[in-house]
Amino acid sequence: MSLSPVEGVALAEIESGADGDGPAAKGVVGRSPGQLAWLRLRRDRTAVVSGVLLVFFMVLGLSAPLIEMAYGVGPREQFQNLLDGNGMPLGYAGGVTGDHWFGLEPGLGRDIFVRLIYGLRTSLFIALAAALITATIGVALGTLAGYLGGWLDAVINWITDLTLAMPFLIIALALTPAITLRFYGERGQVSSAFGVGVLIAVFAIFGWTGTARLVRGQVIALREREFVEAAKASGAGLGHMLFRQLLPNIWAPILVSFSLAVPQFITSEAALSFIGVGLSDETPSFGRMIYDSLDYLQTDPAYVFFPGITIFALVFAFNLFGDALRDALDPKSSR
């Protein structure tokens, strides 16, 4: 009888547990590879700490309107009366008070804390949406190319090579303003939803190639295995082969690739907003806030500190969790 890699991992874990003594050995019997990976993830302190931090950030982003209601200040409200004649916030540390926890923006007098919360929501939505779309495209193209091969594999590889050859930053610098100009003209006020949609589309165009190559390689390695040949011999169709035989055996690298793509899109969104081709000033964004704060780096360092430390903690937590997830899903890992 031929076993798929998923079944083989589960059987190996069960057999290794059966060789031991005591409750620990009995505890692993009958657990699926997903359950075993979850146990390894729970034992990893780095995964637990970074996971808790990510949940905290996501809860903040999802509850941004509720926080605004409780806080009593909106992201577009201006407090010009709390600025001096030079447009600098009155008081210490950039105007930090009981009413404005992180102070005020110099010049416009907007509350930094509530804009950070909405900026967190924007960054997470763009990154997660882009990662989901790119993963879907990459998995679909990589699976078809790896399993069917032939001319389809050649065409998908050619498109992948062509996309990788395009410089992302230069294309994004040219494409994003061109799309905005096409729909809104030179003087039109760009809506926040349109700016977010354009960024997600740009990321989706360029971000699927890594996942496609990863999945293609995994499928090529699996398509000659005995369990795949047995399914073919039994008359299984293309859908059954892709969704029942191949994809369940490569979900681990796909999940790791997804978790590591999210922080890349967060930093890419911040970078594009920083250089002025991402979101407009009306939409709270980490990159835009950091760009606006550079002129006040010496006079109001708190303005650059709060958005900078927030995006650093968010990206760092995602990277740590992605590494821990990769170790947990690898049955050969010593962790």
pLDDT at 30: 61
Among residues 176, 249, 252, 260, the alpha carbon closest in space to that of 210 is found at 260
Whether the predicted pLDDT of 130 surpasses 90: yes
Q: How far apart are CA 202 and CA 326, in angstroms?
A: 27
Percentage above 70 pLDDT, the chain: 86
Count the Cβ atoms, other than its own, within 10 Å of residue 83.
19
pLDDT band at 316 (very low <50, low <70, confident <90, very high): very high
Contacts of 125 (CB under 8 A, 6+ apart): 61, 196
Whether the predicted pLDDT of 92 surpasses 60: yes
pLDDT band at 24 (very low <50, low <70, confident <90, very high): very low
Q: How far apart are CA 113 and CA 303, in angstroms?
A: 10
Q: How far apart are CA 27 and CA 212, in angstroms?
A: 37
pLDDT band at 129 (very low <50, low <70, confident <90, very high): very high
The average pLDDT across 27-38 equals 66
pLDDT at 138: 92
Strand-pairing partners, residue 110, are: 78
Lowest-pLDDT choice from 2-11, 199-208, 227-236: 2-11
Whether the predicted pLDDT of 183 surpasses 50: yes
pLDDT at 20: 47
Q: Which amino acid is at 53?
A: L
3-state DSSP assignment of residue 83: strand
Q: How far apart are CA 306 and CA 92, in angstroms?
A: 15
Mean pLDDT over all residues of the chain? Answer: 81
The average pLDDT across 35-63 equals 88
Q: How far apart are CA 57 and CA 291, in angstroms?
A: 22
Whether the predicted pLDDT of 23 surpasses 50: no
pLDDT band at 186 (very low <50, low <70, confident <90, very high): low
Sign of the CA dihedral with 169 first, then 171, 173, and 176 last = negative
Whether the predicted pLDDT of 58 surpasses 90: yes
Q: Where are the domains of the chain?
A: 48-63+113-334
Contacts of 332 (CB under 8 A, 6+ apart): none
Place of tokens 């201006």: 78
The CATH class of 48-63+113-334 is mainly alpha
Among residues 86, 84, 85, 104, the alpha carbon closest in space to that of 94 is found at 104
Whether the predicted pLDDT of 214 surpasses 50: yes
Whether the predicted pLDDT of 140 surpasses 80: yes
Q: Which amino acid is at 109?
A: G
Whether the predicted pLDDT of 155 surpasses 90: yes
pLDDT at 334: 53
Q: Name the range with the highest mean pLDDT among 69-78, 133-142, 215-224.
A: 133-142
Whether the predicted pLDDT of 128 surpasses 90: yes
Higher pLDDT, 176 or 121: 121
How many Å separate Cα 5 from the centre of its chain?
27
pLDDT band at 8 (very low <50, low <70, confident <90, very high): low
| pTM, rounded to two decimals | 0.82
Q: How far apart are CA 66 and CA 215, in angstroms?
A: 40
pLDDT at 117: 92
Q: How far apart are CA 37 and CA 16, in angstroms?
A: 15
What's the Rg (C-alpha) of the chain? 25
Q: How far apart are CA 257 and CA 210, in angstroms?
A: 8
> Buried b / exposed e across 27-54, counting CB within 10 Å, b at 16+?
ebeebebeebbeebbeebeebeebbebb
pLDDT at 134: 93
pLDDT at 50: 92
Write the DSSP symbol of residue 193: H
How many Å separate Cα 261 from the centre of its chain?
5
Q: How far apart are CA 223 and CA 87, in angstroms?
A: 65
The average pLDDT across 206-231 equals 86
pLDDT one-digit tens code per residue, 165-175: 888 888 888 88
pLDDT band at 299 (very low <50, low <70, confident <90, very high): confident
